[in-house]
Chain A
């Protein structure tokens, strides 16, 4: 590509739109909503990138991907090179391209965003990862010669999978222990198929297996084998347990039949495939009117799942306004398009049941926004006397997740903070127990996939250093 213009072209301000399933079709099926760029579309979008010298976008990416580098390779049509650049810093690009909060991270810093649309970094990342999986043939990376050292990874979410990948590349033998019967953590049980096809996860796990990682499902560490047991059999132990404890509001009626935590609702639907009941055995209540409480990704996933389970009316009840909703912009947009009914500035006060203990409705109160709190978000304040009831069959509580104490309770030597999160060094992931490392949501509290992966990467580096020097 020698005849590139000397002076930068006039920047193209419009993003190449992502082809999508139309809302009226996709709201009743589980297939992925965005269909992905064609190679031509990807190259066109990539050519919008100005290749800024100071690379502001890179500083927005928690793992510091060489964004202009991989985008340039796409623009040049060199997809193989693009994937190599991408994978240098990100082991799960097909996942991150789909679920990263790009509009707050890399794309938020893109200079093109000042005047027009930022470069669709996420879409391009997704494109190149999908290209590799479908056409490029995933190549087994080169592994360092075996070191004879053994690493146990507890939890197979993004944090654990990253540690496993990096450690096995460094020549250590890795065994991953997962409590559930399938691998992937939230990527498997939480994020629905229509947003994160499980085929991607299977391919990633398959690759790790090819690289020699041993996976043990049905292995709940703590009750089954203690951390001490693992330390007896392995040279280092990584805890990537996630934030697997659902919060409830503590309002009356929350234990009625038909009230779900988002974790349960999504686990039934995704991991247990209740949407395919009765071909699969696990049932789920297919309410006609479903309310989801919350405004994050978890709430959007639950609401959109309810729609796909056949609900006629799905409400999202959120106590602040749209602007404060923590979900990814794209998910909120998709939810609106699919016909989800947003009840903003509303807070549930109680859930109403019938004589048999089943949900029949929910009382909510209107809110107004007060002064910004310490996090900079406006604090919602109830407006007295504005309560009213909505009729419902199912309520899904998507208020977020905290630290699950299953393992930590049985491991008192492991230091945790007031909220039950494991305390780990931000650089080395070291915990209060020698040879035990931790990261991802169990350390940070519910965060993001890319942060969990970044943690995993730093931990793997520290583990490698320790194993090399010991």
Chain B
């Protein structure tokens, strides 16, 4: 069992959790994820690490409530223990020296991008981070992001904070102002990964996106997380989660992501019906 030592709603529908998982910390690297089960009946759900602490053996991740499983985690309280946490999984993000790197984060990626930006900066890159949200009150961890990069751009869909627009608009703005971008890394929902990839395609800027297909084991055993990247089948949990955004077949990703819509709805209805809990 893994104890929740901190849990906080840091923006509407956005929660930060810190869990004791000393063995995960040991080898954690930026961009890696853990798979979590709240209790014995839970699904195995992946979450990207947005931080880890070698001293106290804890890991931190940020998540958005979307369905039954994330709901279960929302219902947990500080001091509760959860059933299973396994990781670090996935190939860590490559954070070598390339020059100027743009790190874009949206949704949970606002938190998850922080270790990536920090690592790029420590490797001697100039790091421009972009955090995006629909509106100002959905932003969080601005300070952590600011500290991790050389320049932080805040973008909101309604312009209520920072520039008006999302990460793709911010990238276009940077290009317009003459910024020489060597690499873009995007972490967030599929839609964001796709729009960011579209924004850099013409200029052929290397664009690495973190993808989040449905997973089960997270160790390459089941093939649930398979994607089509450049005409090849890849398993996101062991070959990814980072892929070249210009090569991803977004149709496959979204179709596979939607495979359980009906059951997901049933599951929520079932849990709200108070049959359990």
Do A and B come together as binding partners? Answer: yes
**Chain A residues near B (Cβ < 8 Å):** 179-181, 217-220, 223-226, 244-246, 248, 254-258, 260-261, 263-264, 267-268, 272-273, 277-283, 285, 353, 356-358, 404-406
For B221, give the chain A residue with the smallest CB separation. Answer: A244
> B86–A218 contact, CB under 8 A?
yes
> B23–A246 contact, CB under 8 A?
no
> B233–A255 contact, CB under 8 A?
yes
In the complex, what distance in Å separates the CA atom of A273 from the CA atom of B42? 10
Q: Mark B180-222, 1 if CB is under 8 A from A, else 0.
A: 0000000000000000000000000000000000001101111
> B259–A285 contact, CB under 8 A?
yes
> A248–B233 contact, CB under 8 A?
yes
> A406–B219 contact, CB under 8 A?
yes
Q: Mark B41-85, 1 if CB is under 8 A from A, else 0.
A: 111100000000000000000000000110010000000000111
Kindly list chain A residues whose C-beta atoms are within 8 Å of the C-beta of B266.
278
> B221–A263 contact, CB under 8 A?
yes
Grouping DSSP codes into helix (H, G, I), strand (E, B) and loop, the A interface class, with mixed when no group exceeds half, is: loop
Grouping DSSP codes into helix (H, G, I), strand (E, B) and loop, the B interface class, with mixed when no group exceeds half, is: mixed
> B222–A267 contact, CB under 8 A?
yes
> A281–B267 contact, CB under 8 A?
yes
Kindly list chain B residues whose C-beta atoms are within 8 Å of the C-beta of A353.
255
B89 interface contact, C-beta 8 A: yes
Kindly list chain A residues whose C-beta atoms are within 8 Å of the C-beta of B23.
219, 224-225
7 more CB-based (< 8 A) A-B contacts, given A248-B233, A255-B233: A220-B87, A224-B88, A225-B23, A246-B222, A261-B223, A261-B224, A357-B255
Contact of A405 among B41, B42, B220, B227 (CB under 8 A): B220
Kindly list chain A residues whose C-beta atoms are within 8 Å of the C-beta of B217.
179-180, 267
13 contacts across the A-B interface (CB closer than 8 A): A180-B219, A217-B84, A223-B89, A224-B24, A225-B23, A255-B233, A255-B249, A260-B224, A263-B222, A279-B275, A283-B263, A283-B267, A404-B221
> B263–A257 contact, CB under 8 A?
no
> A246–B221 contact, CB under 8 A?
yes
In the complex, what distance in Å separates the CA atom of A360 from the CA atom of B222? 22
> A281–B221 contact, CB under 8 A?
no
In the complex, what distance in Å separates the CA atom of A80 from the CA atom of B41? 38
Contact of B86 among A220, A255, A256 (CB under 8 A): A220
Kindly list chain B residues whose C-beta atoms are within 8 Å of the C-beta of A219.
23, 86
Kindly list chain B residues whose C-beta atoms are within 8 Å of the C-beta of A263.
221-223
Kindly list chain A residues whose C-beta atoms are within 8 Å of the C-beta of B221.
244-246, 263, 267, 404
In the complex, what distance in Å separates the CA atom of A285 from the CA atom of B258? 12
In the complex, what distance in Å separates the CA atom of A263 from the CA atom of B267? 23
> A224–B87 contact, CB under 8 A?
yes
B274 interface contact, C-beta 8 A: no
